[in-house]
Structure 1
Amino acid sequence: MRLAITGATGLVGRFIVEEALAAGDHVVTLTRTPPDHGAFSGPVSRLAYDLAGPPPPLVGCDALVHCSFQHVPGLYRGGEGDDPDGFRRANLDGSLALFETARRDGVRRILFLSSRAVYGDYPPGTTLGEDLPPRPDTLYGKIKLEAEQALAALNGPGCATASLRATGIYGPAGPGQTHKWTRLFDDFRAGRPIAPRISTEVHGADLAAAIRLLLLAPASSLAGRSFNLSDILLDRHDLLTEVARLTGIRAPLPKRADGAKISAMSCTRLRSLGWHPGGRRRLSESLPGLLQ
């Protein structure tokens, strides 16, 4: 398979690239600048691409996975900063132009990395099922939903599409990069106060496995649908308890968060295709590497 991937050098995109290389795919990265030497375990091709500019031709690509998103560093919700119009132009108009180019150029499968943010302001404790009507309450969530809807409208004979509504994604970062818990672990080592929090998480390798399933599944399984992507509920208290056990750090642990204030995601559609994320076992196996 000749697979085009945007956002390939980010935390999420790198997992997708590595999974594709392991499967023997020819990977084409769509990036603003060339990946650093050694960024990936094998050779990749590159097409220059910026969300704010015209998409490159994608003739000859079998599939596209669109992961890139332009935002204020460190922020997704609120990632528009003081430029909501520019945020919308890049992330919505840019994504739609990319989807249209892919379909025009004969790409047979298009996947879009969306977000649980499309569910918006449902009360805490609501199970977020895939049939629950989205009601985003942030510009980030609204743009993700509008991009989902536009992509679904392109689904048809010769071009199967789907969106993945992902939760928080953890796992090791690439060379010279930091993972999502780097600052949290640094604060814990330094004994700084840490606020209680519980979150939904999925390992990047499990996300990449879900992408692979949707790339290979019958087109009728995609049909413009959206697929929830989540695995475990994780309390910072429990995470840092394990960090303390592995490192000997004796800093105070945060209090347990109120579990009733988190909405878990139901991933019925992916599981029906045979998706089996790694759960707590994968978290435990990953932590030593994340602490190095």
Structure 2
Amino acid sequence: MAGPTTHAEHGTGTVLVAGGTGFIGGALVRALVSDADSGAPDLRVLSSRGAAVGSHADGVRHIGADLTRPQTLRGVCEGVTTLVHAASYVGRDPDRCGAVNHFGVHALLDEARRAGVARIICLSTASVYGTGPHRGAREEEITPRPQSPASASRLRGEAAVLDAGGIVLRPHLIYGEGDRWVVPSLVRMLTAVPDWPARSRPLTSLISLRDLARCVAALVRDHEAARGPAVYHAADPRPLPFGRLLLALHRVLGLPLPPGDISPAEHRARIARVMPALTDHQYALVTQDHWYDARKLWERSGQRPGPVFEEQFAACRDWYARQPA
């Protein structure tokens, strides 16, 4: 009689998700736990916050550690088959950017190397490319030009992952439950300045949190797909016309449709007065073309994009309705 199926037979082994209590990491943990068809892996979550050290919930073991304190990382990768790095600092403190996104990655990779971790997957950002416009470039066709301490430090962290034979995913804009930047920032912009630059209807690369988690979970399960070094754009393969996003904000959240009869220079000046913390780079991300060829990730992961943007966005109505304007 055949014995019970093990995690190893499913190809998952032991998975460590660094940053597994965050926006992306948390979604990945939920996707792995709920994947009954493939068998949930032996799952560990590494975080400096969240559940108590050594606690177990839903078959997940939580480990407390801090990327900026390498001594706390000792032994966290023992017995781990796949490391998914989804922890980052995206603020403007250059010292903390370096400590978390660069030196912290090196410290965790040192532990992974010491423990013989077979596969490494890192969640990064398309912001390493800097300000566009960017129009449909494949991964090998575009040179990173980071324009902030956060993006520059994440690019250095990427380099360490690639040197270790890992793979790097670069999403552009991610939406879904837990999003506190992409859609909330647009809502604040349109509330403060209920207009839009004339003739500015760019194409943008978005991906739903659910689709991103599905793709990463598929890479975790597939030993060959998760081998690198490799870089993947993480986005819906169909770039979204920005007009459709504005229309969705109108239909789902009740924002007025902006007339679009203001000059780009005047619009930028008005936004700068009411949202002084919004950088020129962040402003350009939603007013210029920023879309990337993401076919390689979907082919490699064996997944298909979820429902159209409007359907997935409407499913997040309650989350976005609760966010402060």
Q: TM-score, normalised by structure 2?
A: 0.71
1:201 and 2:206 aligned: yes
SS of structure 1 residue aligned to 2:297: helix
* Pick aligned residue for 2:122 from 105, 112, 115: 112
Q: In structure 1, what is the equivalent of residue 62 of structure 2?
A: 46
Distance 1:202 1:41, change over 3 A: farther
Q: In structure 1, what is the equivalent of residue 288 of structure 2?
A: 261
Q: Structure 2: how far apart are the matches of 1:95 and 1:49?
A: 13
1:64 and 2:76 aligned: no
Tell me the number of residue pairs that the alignment of Structure 1 and Structure 2 aligns: 267
SS of structure 1 residue aligned to 2:170: strand
Any stretches of 5+ residues in structure 2 without a counterpart? Answer: 1-12, 265-283, 319-325
1:29 and 2:45 aligned: yes
- Residue pairs, 1:226-265, within 5 angstroms: 226-231=231-236, 232-246=238-252, 249=254, 251-253=256-258, 255=260, 261-265=288-292
Query: Among the aligned pairs, what percent are the same residue?
Result: 23
- Kept in 2, the 8 Å contact 1:191–1:251? The answer is no
1:19 and 2:45 aligned: no
- Kept in 2, the 8 Å contact 1:237–1:255? The answer is no
Q: Structure 2: how far apart are the matches of 1:187 and 1:260?
A: 12
Q: How far has the Cα of 1:209 moved from its partner?
A: 1.8
Q: How far has the Cα of 1:218 moved from its partner?
A: 4.0
CA offset digits 1:167-214 (Å, max 9, x no partner): 1111112xxx857424544775x6852545743210111111221232
Q: Which amino acid aligns with 1:9?
A: T
SS of structure 2 residue aligned to 1:30: strand
CA offset digits 1:205-263 (Å, max 9, x no partner): 1111221232233447622111111114335542232343346x372425399999313
Distance 1:243 1:151, change over 3 A: closer
Q: Which moved more, 1:269-278 or 1:14-23?
A: 269-278
Distance 1:260 1:128, change over 3 A: farther
Q: How far has the Cα of 1:133 moved from its partner?
A: 4.7
Q: How far has the Cα of 1:290 moved from its partner?
A: 2.1
Q: Structure 1: how far apart are the matches of 2:192 and 2:257?
A: 7
Q: Which amino acid aligns with 2:247?
A: T
- Residue pairs, 1:1-292, within 5 angstroms: 1-23=13-35, 24-35=40-51, 42-54=58-70, 55-57=73-75, 58-72=77-91, 79-80=92-93, 84-121=94-131, 123-138=132-147, 139-155=149-165, 161-173=166-178, 178=180, 180-182=182-184, 184-185=186-187, 193=194, 195=196, 198=202, 199-219=204-224, 222-231=227-236, 232-246=238-252, 249=254, 251-253=256-258, 255=260, 261-273=288-300, 274-278=302-306, 281-292=307-318
SS of structure 1 residue aligned to 2:84: strand
- Kept in 2, the 8 Å contact 1:179–1:290? The answer is no
Distance 1:116 1:60, change over 3 A: same
Distance 1:52 1:254, change over 3 A: farther
| RMSD of aligned residue pairs (Cα, Å) | 3.1
Q: Structure 1: how far apart are the matches of 2:297 and 2:255?
A: 40
Q: Which amino acid aligns with 2:80?
A: C
- Kept in 2, the 8 Å contact 1:124–1:261? The answer is yes
Largest Rg, 1 or 2: 2
SS of structure 2 residue aligned to 1:5: strand
Q: Structure 2: how far apart are the matches of 1:147 and 1:183?
A: 27
